[in-house]
Structure 1
Amino acid sequence: MTYAPDEHDQTLLSLSSGEVLSERYQLVRELGRGGMGVVWLAEDEHLDSRPMAIKVLPSALCRNARAVARLKKEALINLELTHPHIVRLFNFEQDPQRSAVAYLVMQYVQGKTLDDLLVEYPDGLPLERVREWAEQLSQAIDHAHAKQILHRDIKPSNIIIDGDGNAYLMDFGIAREAKDTMTRVTGRESSGTLPYMSPQQLMGKNSRSNDIYSFAATLYEALCGRPPFETGDIAT
């Protein structure tokens, strides 16, 4: 996904390596960017420079108090998720010196997203590798569902594989809430992930089955190199 900056994002775009957020997190280097923000590798100066992943949200969201409240509520719910195959969310913060800078503090996992791996393996990944990841990720999804927490945006770019071949699910609930909130704040439809959305989700119905559909579509793409549906009317 390509991040398209606009006039709302000047504060976000001004961040650079070496800056410190909230007098604690020193930005080291940018890890990636998308429509819902920029992810940085940072060092936690309060914890012996422990590496963290910092996701800085678009300023259009951060300047809206109601939007920030919704995202903070979603983040607090996700703090309950502690599973070996879920990227841990530690906090949702706003820089006291720059109110337009809000960010998520997350566990840093060094590796590649499934999306990145599919670029290297355009015809799909080996069955045994996908089978191992499927087992790990299904346990992570079950853990969240047992706590009544839905992901709502399972797709290859929200799965990261570390150097030992372990799979982790990222952005539990946060990414979809950020997209929905961005649409409400700006009046613009957020870039979607239609190939991974069930027809029920497209109609606004939230349930565990939506996550299962998205997970299945993601596994299909991991094996075949493309999502199950690329053309036609997904809603029908």
Structure 2
Amino acid sequence: MSGAGDVLEDLSSRDEDLTYFAFAKPVATHRDAMQVRPEPVPDVLAGRYRLERLLGAGGMGVVYRARDLLQEQFGDPEPYVALKMLCDEYADCVDASALLFSEFALTRRVQHPNVVRLYGFEADTRCNRAFITMELMRGLTLDKLLCERPLGLPWPELRDIALPLIDALAHVHSRGVLHGDIKPSNVMVGEEGLRLFDFGLGLAEEDALPGLPKLSRHGFHAWTFGYAAPELLDGSPLVASADVFSVACVIYELACGKHPLRRVPSNQARDVGMEVEPLTSSHLPKRCWTSLKTALSFDPSKRHITVAQLRQDFASASNFKLLQGWRRLFPNRFRQ
């Protein structure tokens, strides 16, 4: 198998994907922290998954397209999965595999049509690497959609993305799980609908998953600059209202094509007195903007709106049903 540098495809360099790292081991620079150098792995993991190419990388993990040789043997015409493992900076860290299992357990707990479907948690003993297998999603992540639609989406199209996204997050919270890293590159839309993925920074609220080990994440915080709530960047723990702030940032950007804080980290924007530019009715209904403005409050005590309330306001703002197909957004992309 060729090296990671040879197969790495289209890793985004957009500002919203830059990540704030609080490492147990400090790194020289932020750019050094972002370099992904997966350690060598076998061509075939666990005797079953042949790695074909690297699809992308985040703050802590790398995701490959892999061919499931067992499914192929049984005649599956589409024996492909996405396979996620920790990148080499974290592979030798204490609790690394347990943290990956935590992501698996959290995602499995929140089964929902708009959350990525997981298949299994496995390990290859030859390279001592644990990994997650999941559905191979086909479509566009929202960061790439924003590149194609720099002025934002009209309300009918925005609604068809915002409602499933909010609905997914509302379900996640109802199951006692926090996501921790909602941003455009962690949401994909395609013919099969919308998928929220990457619960790598997620947490279970108290009593949600009592059997899950209580792991220290001191060396694994990787909040995303452009979408993390200010209290997270200040060092406060993850709570539900931080997810609300992040999803509001994403929806705002989809509505007008501009980041609500001009890509300034939210704690810095707060400290210099920056204000979010109001959205007009040409972007989204007034009721939705009122809710979004509350969700974007810098002060978490003034962010007195839950994701369930946000969903209710967005749903009631429209008398139209959700589109059943995604071809309206991508009329030519999925034609054979």
TM range (shorter): 0.7 to 0.9
Distance (Å, rounded) in 1 between the aligned partners of 2:46 and 2:90? 18
What is aligned with 1:218?
A: 250
TM-score by length of 2: 0.59
Give 2:123's aligned residue: 94
Q: What is residue 225 of structure 2 aligned with on the other side?
A: 194
Q: What are structure 2's unaligned runs of at least 5 residues?
A: 1-11, 19-30, 204-214, 272-336
Q: Which amino acid aligns with 1:24?
A: R
For the 8 Å contact 1:202–1:235, the answer to whether it is kept is no
Q: Say which is worse superposed, 214-223 or 196-205, in terms of deviation.
A: 196-205
* CA gap 1:118/1:218 in 2 versus in 1, 3 angstroms: same
Corresponding residue of 1:105: 133
Task: Determine if the alignment matches structure 1 residue 143 to structure 2 residue 171.
Answer: yes
- Structure 1 gap ranges (5+): none
Give, in angstroms, the shift of residue 162 of structure 1: 1.0
Whole-Å Cα distance in 2 between the matches of residues 176 and 147 of structure 1?
A: 12
Return closer, same or farther for 1:91/1:175 CA change in 2, 3 Å cut-off.
farther
In 2, the alpha carbon distance for the partners of 1:73 and 1:35 equals 16
CA contact (8 A) 1:88 1:106 kept: yes
Pairing 1:115-134 to 2, within 5 Å after superposition: 115-134=143-162
Runs of 4+ in 1 over 6 A off after TM superposition: 3-6, 180-183
Cα deviation code 1:74-127 (max 9, x no counterpart): 42232212111101233333321101x332212111111001111111221232
Shift of residue 13 of structure 1? 5.2
The correspondence for 2:68, drawn from 41, 44, 52, is 44
Relative distance call for 1:234 and 1:104 in structure 2 (3 A) is: farther
Among 241, 244, 256, the alignment partner of 1:209 is 241
Higher share in strand? 1
1:28 partner SS: strand
Is 2:252–2:258's contact at 8 Å kept on the other side of the alignment?
A: yes
Among candidates 147, 166, 185, match of residue 157 of structure 1: 185
Identical pairs, percent: 33
Distance 2:46 2:63 in 1: 16
Larger radius of gyration: 2
1:234 partner letter:
A
Deviation of 1:157 (Å): 0.2
Give the structure-1-normalised TM-score: 0.81
Aligned equivalents of 1:75, 1:58: Cα separation in 2: 16
Q: Which segment is superposed worse, 152-161 or 123-132?
A: 123-132
